Amino acid sequence: MTCAHVVNVALKKTAGVDTVEVSLNKGLATVKLKPGNTVSVPQLWELIHQKGYTPKATEVTVKGELESVSGKLQLKVTGTKDVLPLSADAKAPAGFAEAKNRVGQTVTLQGVMLPDKNLKIVVPLQVGQVKK
Amino acid sequence: MQKRLLLLTCAAMTAALPGRAELLQVDLSIFGMD
């Protein structure tokens, strides 16, 4: 059994995961999720770590409601206490600026999350772009 | 009657909720995978 297969099977078993594609050349696993899922990125990182691998920079597409609390921008999970803190991507600051202008709206964001040493810690999403 | 009112209230509350934040797609870079 290849390493890629082990990761593929583990991710597919996760509730809310729709499809998984693993690229060996790129060292990349693309995970598409089902509508209404409650999967979190740290949850996927933890899973990969449990299989003996190290998760790195993760590109994330996420939908939610933008809100500003004490001047800090975040994406809110309606009906729960879950929030995803947002920060600017140094390479694409326009995305974060647009997000700030759309507080109160439900949007789809694309950005990057970098895992902390403690994989369970929720790290900020560096906003690259706000999708239409 | 009370039960019906409760059901109607729940249905109205659910319909009024805006879309949940949810992950749509994740591209995970994984070190050491071969």
B13 contacts on A by Cβ (under 8 Å): none
DSSP state of A65: E
* Residue A64 and residue A126 in one domain: yes
Domain ranges, residue A84: 59-131
* Residue A67 and residue A32 in one domain: no
Count residue pairs from A and B with Cβ separation < 8 A: 117
Q: What is the pLDDT along chain A (132 residues), one digit of tens a residue?
A: 567 788 899 999 999 999 999 887 888 999 999 988 888 899 999 999 998 899 999 999 999 999 999 999 999 865 456 789 999 999 889 999 999 999 999 999 999 999 999 998 889 999 999 986
Looking up tokens 């759309």 gives A102
* Residue A68 and residue A108 in one domain: yes
* Cβ–Cβ below 8 Å for B22 and A65: no
Question: Residue A48: is it exposed, middle or buried by C-beta count within 10 angstroms (0-12/13-18/19+)?
Answer: buried
Rounded to two decimals, the ipTM of the complex is 0.81
**Taking the model in full, what pTM does it have?**
0.81
The answer to whether the CB of A124 falls within 8 A of the CB of A86 is yes
> Shortest CB distance from B31 goes to which of A36, A44, A54?
A54
How close, in Å, is residue A70 to chain B by CA atoms?
A: 20
The answer to whether the CB of A99 falls within 8 A of the CB of A84 is no
CATH of the domain at A51: 3.30.70.100
